[in-house]
Amino acid sequence: MQTGKIISIRGSVVDIGFEDYLPSINTLLHTGKDKNISIEVLAQLDANRVRGIALNPTQGLTRGMLVETEGKQLAVPIGKNIMGRMFDVFGNVIDHQGKLSDVKWKNIHQPPPSLAERSTKSEVFLTGIKVIDVLVPLERGGKTGLFGGAGVGKTVLLTEMIHNMVGHNKGVSMFCGIGERCREGHELYQDMQTAGVLENMVMLFGQMNEPPGARFRVGHAALTMAEYFRDEEHRDVLLLIDNIFRFIQAGMEVSGLMGQMPSRLGYQPTLGTELSQLEERIANTKSGAITSIQAVYVPADDLTDPAAVHTFSHLSASIVLSRKKASEGMYPAIDLLESNSKMATPGIIGKRHYELAQAIRKTLAHYEELKDIIAMLGLEQLSNEDHKIVNRARRLERFLTQPFFTTTKFSGIEGKEVSLEEALDGCERILADEFKDIPESAFYMIGRVEEALMKGKKEKSQEATTEEK
């Protein structure tokens, strides 16, 4: 145990002096009356002084107060027993479900896997959600950005992915809340418990009211836990991060407190490095994969903002949620033309899937152009070919909606998981006008396309009965 003394305190920034020992960068120091305040070393000022950022509020600290360190870094628990639990940045359980037992502790500062360890094969990560698997295929071991405002279905989409991941891929799901409101954390915990997926999940939160130092390290702590499941248990991990912008924001606050000269728009000069240190650890290796879905807040809807630009460079797919779609009841409310994926190439998903996805996009784009004409002049003024395109597009839009397992108790419709082959088959048959005589309402909220035939027959028989009466 090495000891030093506090020299100065400026908000969360604390300078500490040591006589014959100098802690290295990222060493954890403990101070306060009960040694309950943790400080992480971020800079060595000279041979005897270090500057650190407090991970707890600094109320009660005074100059001359004793500081202790064992020379260790911030660590989190790893092991089978962390499943189904909720943690803070220090690895303490915060779900009131009793203490942890039989766990090891591991430093949160780990290097990303080297190129030699990574898998060079591009694989698609199947979610069981038609619209994502067909039009925005996700990469196994890749990073996906989820863009959307409040109330358009981000959490429902994430919960469904967790349900499908846990149920069929025997994988692990991790939720990392960076700068989350306590209300959001509490609601998510209750939702996961109700959906029955909590026992295969690990949740880690750095709340909005916590100091920037703690919020800045939550992402690294979550990745350390995820790496344990990937590297030691050889399981696939689905890592959900909400919100990656708040990680950048916490880094900006830390940088400002440390007295660094700000870069463009007030961001820290080390923005690119800090984001890369986090993102590069999310990878597909020979032992398993960490697939990440990250909610991305775009400041003032400006996609040229440095935070958005640096985040985009790491993503392999972008899912854009649309409020207009949500208002029409088209769930999942994904904007099919705005969303895109780098995996959607013939070399990765195959020629048939690629050509089908392009045909779907082309049909939907054409329908979007025709909407103005329909609104002004009506459907009657369209040519026969345009009529066919509108019918196909409307059936495709409804076929790409899907009832979710996690919303069964609200909607009363049983959830459906659809394989990629079934989804592609359905889209292909709709584009070939095979179902032109079936009402478009029959395609809404179904799984496989065969269900539309049954639904259509049922609707026709009901209409016939009504007419007879």
The H-or-E segment that residue 162 falls in is: helix 154-168
Instruction: Decide if 241 contacts 295 (C-beta within 8 A).
Output: yes
pLDDT at 159: 79
Active-site residue (options: 51, 106, 154, 392): 154
Decide: 53 and 255 in contact? Cβ < 8 Å. Answer: no
pTM of the model: 0.85
Q: Is 154 a catalytic residue?
A: yes
Q: 104, 170, 181, 458: which one is catalytic?
A: 181
CB-based contact 189:86 (threshold 8 Å): yes
What's the helix, strand, coil split of the chain in %, to 5?
40, 20, 40
Handedness of CA 81, 87, 93, 96 (dihedral sign): negative
pLDDT at 408: 84
**CA-CA distance, 312 to 346, in Å (whole number)?**
23
Segment 278-305, tens digit of pLDDT: 999 999 998 889 999 998 888 877 778 8
Q: What is the 3-state secondary structure (H, E, C) of 12-56?
A: CEEEEECCCCCCCCCEEEEECCCCCEEEEEEEECCCCEEEEEECC
Could you please report the per-residue DSSP string of 439-458?
Answer: -GGGGTT-SSTHHHHHHHHH
| Catalytic residue chosen out of the listed positions 40, 180, 253, 279 | 180
Sign of the C-alpha dihedral computed for residues 191, 216, 69 and 228 taken in this order = positive
User: Nearest-CA neighbor of 195 among 237, 166, 170, 235?
Assistant: 166
Query: How far, in Å, CA of 20 to CA of 28, rounded?
Result: 18
What pLDDT is recorded for position 405? 86
| Nearest Cα residue to 170 out of 250, 242, 234, 74 | 234
180 is catalytic: yes
Question: Residue 469: what pLDDT?
Answer: 61
Beta carbons within 8 Å of 302's beta carbon, 6+ residues apart: 308
Task: List the beta bridge partners of residue 202.
Answer: 174
Strands (E) in 261-375, as ranges, are 290-295, 317-320, 340-341
Structure tokens at 205: 């939160």
Report pLDDT for 167. Answer: 63
Q: Is 181 a catalytic residue?
A: yes
Q: Per residue of the chain (469 residues), what is the pLDDT tens digit?
A: 899 999 999 989 999 999 989 999 999 999 998 899 999 999 999 999 999 999 999 998 999 999 999 999 999 999 999 999 999 999 999 998 889 989 999 999 999 999 999 988 888 999 999 999 999 999 988 999 988 777 788 878 887 888 887 766 667 889 999 988 888 788 888 877 877 778 888 999 999 999 999 999 999 999 999 999 999 999 889 999 988 999 999 999 999 999 899 988 889 999 999 999 999 999 999 888 999 999 888 887 777 889 888 998 899 999 988 889 999 989 999 999 989 999 999 999 999 999 999 999 999 999 999 988 888 888 788 888 999 999 999 999 999 999 998 888 888 888 998 999 999 999 999 999 998 889 889 999 999 999 998 888 887 777 777 767 6
pLDDT at 461: 77
